[in-house]
Amino acid sequence: MNRTMQSSVLSVIGAVTITAVVTGMYTNFVKPGLRWYLVAAGVLLLAMGIYGVLTARSEAGEHDPDAPPGEAAPDGHDHTHGPRVGWLLLVPFLLLGFVVPPPLGSFAAGRDDGQVRASSDNFDITSDLPEGQVVDMSMTEYQTRALYDESHSLKDRTVRLVGFVAEEKGGGWSLARMKLSCCAADAYSVKVTPVGGQQLAKDTWIAVTGTWEPSPEPKDENDFVPPRIKVESMEEVEEPDVPYE
Amino acid sequence: MSTSTTPARTAGETSGGSPHRQGGDPSWPIFVLAGVILALTFARPAISGAFVDHEALASWFTVFVSIALQALPFLVLGVLLSAVIAVLVPPDAISRLLPRRPAAAVPVAGLSGMVLPGCECASVPIAGSLVSRGLRPAIALTFLLAAPAINPVVLVSTAVAFPGNREMVLARFLAAFVTAVVIGWIWLRLGRDDLIKIPRRAPVAGGRLAQLVAAARHDFLHAGGFLVLGSAVAASVNVLVPPAWLDSLAGNVLVAVLTLAIFAFVVAVCSEADAFIAASLNQFPPVAQLAFMVVGPVIDVKLLSMQAGTFGRRFATIFAPLSFVVAIIASLAVGSVVL
């Protein structure tokens, strides 16, 4: 990889990263909180790339003109060329920019039991729900309130949850949403079991409006039974801008 | 990218000037790159269709891309800092800040890891830069091991992941620090600095800015390339290994510790996120959760790949097992006292 090419690779990675933030596609992979760090990294890479291309001629011209091109340095490592392994960096970023893998869905959700874990989300589960006929709620909040709120704030309230359809191994289906700590590599699912309502094709995004209903007791302490929601109505919705919670 | 050489000649000739003077590189790769982008764009509907039919494949790609994207800001931070060290800091300045006796300098280097708020992707190029600036490898390696594990960002995320469990944060800090310092001392005693391929850079003509950018660019492509290799392995584990396998190994304490240590090695999550995963593995005893968080920032598949790339394969074959074993022992020792 010569210097111009190295700089071009940096520019492509920078440009793709900025584009992914601007189009919002980056939320398929990482938390929205990383947005400005990604923009900063993209801008720096783009600037380094442009600077490198603009100065490539003078750099190369002045650099050790007597050395035959491409000869390996004494440590067996050719320094007039960039590291060849650097080409690999293009793979994830070309995929990010020009293929855009989909957000994790029912396949990933099928790999765990759908129990919410300790997280940095802040909500007070003992607080009363806001006034109104139907309360929009994250899957995380619904599950946390259903499992841990001893004041039963969900009781007799109508809530609206947005998630995708996940098939369950033993038959039936769940409303599921993937949750990230940092990036999709650490994703896990948060599930709620709908009672009633027609099962749609897996990975269909739906909004479920309904009321909380108690779940059966778990068999033992390692068994997890997701909270239930009694479905009043159900509609297909667009995939949310941020597919994860 | 090893396509035919025929377009190489034509492109090289048309680019004008003396191709030899410019490093002898043809400019055809830029056209290959443009062609790949074009092909991907046209193939996108077909690829999206394949993703719908092959969910595991789609998951693999998403996880693979996400690791690279998540690491990018930290990688850029790391290579820029390492370039600053390489270009602007005089060779002996860092050694002068540290105690003269290497054995005393090791713990100081470990503690100074607290000031680098990043994950392990940032610290490998920085350590490489420190070694090439003449710092004793044992001291630079201690910093490399400590920085991703004991910086404030990581400790805060650990506190968040284990609410009301301050012992876990303390245990993590102590075990990670002990691991880094002990490995530093062992490396001093071993005296096998000859195993390390000292990262050297091509001299770059021009001002400091030109040198800085050249150093950062080289490190970015180098460390980043190995990062991508490691994330491919981690994505495969993520998609292929059923999580239920883990549950069966949670009973016996020693087996549990070893299981989560190996798990940390293969899943290679960022040290800023690993506490959340450790917390979720609550069927395991706390000391095993601790081992997961102590091993991960010290050695995992992507770090192994990056270390082998930066310091050479011979170094990595000694250093990686050493890191793994010391991290497990430190977790057991600290865990049995604090947890």
> Cβ–Cβ of B276/A117 closer than 8 Å?
yes
Encode B111-122: b = buried (16+ Cβ within 10 Å), e = exposed.
Answer: ebbbebebbbbb
pLDDT value for A64: 43
Average of per-residue pLDDT across B83-109: 86
> Cβ–Cβ of B62/A64 closer than 8 Å?
no
**Calpha distance A209→B70 (Å, rounded):** 34
Q: Which of B221, B33, B132, B13 is nearest to A52 (CA)?
A: B221
pLDDT value for B7: 41
Q: What angle do CA A41, A44, A47 make, to 5 degrees?
A: 150
pLDDT value for A79: 47
Average of per-residue pLDDT across B326-333: 97
Q: Given CB atoms, is A176 within the 8 Å cutoff of chain B?
A: no
**Calpha distance B89→B119 (Å, rounded):** 23
pLDDT value for B280: 74
Q: Given CB atoms, is A227 within the 8 Å cutoff of chain B?
A: no
* Cβ neighbours of B210 in A, within 8 Å: 55, 59
- Which residues, in sequence order, are bridge partners of residue B55? none
Nearest CA in chain B to A104: B59
Long-range CB pairs of B200-203 (<8 Å, 24+ gap) are B200/A73, B200/A75, B200/A77, B200/A79, B200/B132, B201/A79, B201/B86, B201/B132, B202/A63, B202/A73, B202/A79, B202/A80, B203/A63, B203/A64
* Cβ neighbours of B222 in A, within 8 Å: 82-83, 85-86
Position B6 pLDDT exceeds 60:
no
Q: How many CB atoms lie within 10 A of CB B153?
A: 14
pLDDT category, A81, cuts 50, 70, 90? low
Position B209 pLDDT exceeds 60:
yes
CA A88 to chain centroid, in Å, comes to: 22
A33-77 pLDDT, tens digit per residue, is 899 999 999 999 999 999 998 887 665 554 444 444 443 344 444
Nearest CA in chain B to A11: B217
Q: Please name the member of B41, B70, B225 whose beta carbon is closest to the beta carbon of A30.
A: B70
Average of per-residue pLDDT across B152-173: 88
> Cβ–Cβ of B206/A62 closer than 8 Å?
yes
Give the H or E element holding residue A177.
strand A173-179
Size of interface A-B (CB pairs under 8 A): 259
pLDDT value for B211: 86
Average of per-residue pLDDT across B55-72: 91
Position B248 pLDDT exceeds 70:
yes
Q: Please name the member of B22, B62, B75 whose beta carbon is closest to the beta carbon of A184.
A: B62
Average of per-residue pLDDT across A191-219: 91
Q: Which of B278, B250, B266, B257 is nearest to B332 (CA)?
A: B257
**Calpha distance A72→A78 (Å, rounded):** 4
pLDDT value for B146: 94
pLDDT value for B231: 85
Encode B155-170: b = buried (16+ Cβ within 10 Å), e = exposed.
Answer: bebbbbbbeebeebbe
pLDDT category, A120, cuts 50, 70, 90? low
Average of per-residue pLDDT across A120-136: 77
Instruction: Supply the mean pLDDT for chain B.
Output: 84
* Cβ neighbours of A13 in B, within 8 Å: 72
A143-191 pLDDT, tens digit per residue, is 988 888 878 888 888 999 999 999 988 888 999 999 987 788 888 899 9
Position A126 pLDDT exceeds 90:
no
- Tell me the residue type at A63: H
Q: What angle do CA A73, B217, B212 make, to 5 degrees?
A: 90
Judge contact between A183 and A29, C-beta under 8 A: yes
* Cβ neighbours of A5 in B, within 8 Å: 25, 27, 29-30
- Cα–Cα separations (whole angstroms), residue B46 to A4, A6, A51, A102, A242: 33, 30, 37, 14, 24
Q: Is B44 or B93 the better-scoring residue by pLDDT?
A: B44
Min CA distance, B86 vs chain A (Å)? 16
Position B67 pLDDT exceeds 60:
yes
pLDDT value for B264: 92
Min CA distance, A128 vs chain B (Å)? 23
Nearest CA in chain A to B57: A101
- Tokens representing A174? 């769940």
B226-246 pLDDT, tens digit per residue, is 888 888 888 888 888 777 777
Comparing A66-75, A103-112, A222-231, B36-45, the range with the smallest average pLDDT is: A66-75
Nearest CA in chain B to A20: B69
**Calpha distance B288→B5 (Å, rounded):** 53
B115-134 pLDDT, tens digit per residue, is 876 677 778 888 988 888 88
Nearest CA in chain A to B234: A185
**Calpha distance B328→A213 (Å, rounded):** 45
Please list, in sequence order, all residues whose beta carbon lies within 8 angstroms of the beta carbon of residue A33, skipping any fewer than 6 positions away: none
Judge contact between A165 and A239, C-beta under 8 A: no
Q: Given CB atoms, is A178 within the 8 Å cutoff of chain B?
A: no
Q: Given CB atoms, is A123 within the 8 Å cutoff of chain B?
A: no
Average of per-residue pLDDT across B77-91: 83
Q: Which of residues 59-118 of A touch B (CB under 8 A)?
A: 59-65, 69-70, 73, 75, 77, 79-108, 111-112, 117-118
DSSP letter (8 states) at residue A30: B
Average of per-residue pLDDT across B59-71: 91
- pTM assigned to the model: 0.82
- Tokens representing B180? 């880094």
Average of per-residue pLDDT across B51-62: 92
**Calpha distance A47→A49 (Å, rounded):** 5
Average of per-residue pLDDT across A240-245: 93
Instruction: Supply the mean pLDDT for chain A.
Output: 85
Q: Given CB atoms, is A140 within the 8 Å cutoff of chain B?
A: no
**Calpha distance A129→A158 (Å, rounded):** 10
- Tokens representing A146? 């259903």
Min CA distance, A105 vs chain B (Å)? 8
- Tokens representing B320? 């990686």
Position A232 pLDDT exceeds 90:
yes
* Cβ neighbours of A99 in B, within 8 Å: 40, 44, 47-48, 61
* Cβ neighbours of A79 in B, within 8 Å: 200-202
Report percent pLDDT > 90 for chain A.
52
* Cβ neighbours of B312 in A, within 8 Å: none
DSSP letter (8 states) at residue B67: H
Min CA distance, B90 vs chain A (Å)? 22
Long-range CB pairs of B105-109 (<8 Å, 24+ gap) are B105/B136, B105/B139, B106/B138, B106/B139, B106/B142, B106/B181, B106/B184, B106/B185, B106/B188, B107/B142, B107/B181, B107/B184, B109/B139, B109/B140, B109/B142, B109/B143, B109/B146, B109/B184
- Tokens representing A34? 């990383």
* Burial environment of residue B75 by CB neighbours within 10 A (0 to 12, 13 to 18, 19 or more): buried
Any idea which residue has 């050493």 for tokens?
B322
> Cβ–Cβ of B23/A86 closer than 8 Å?
no
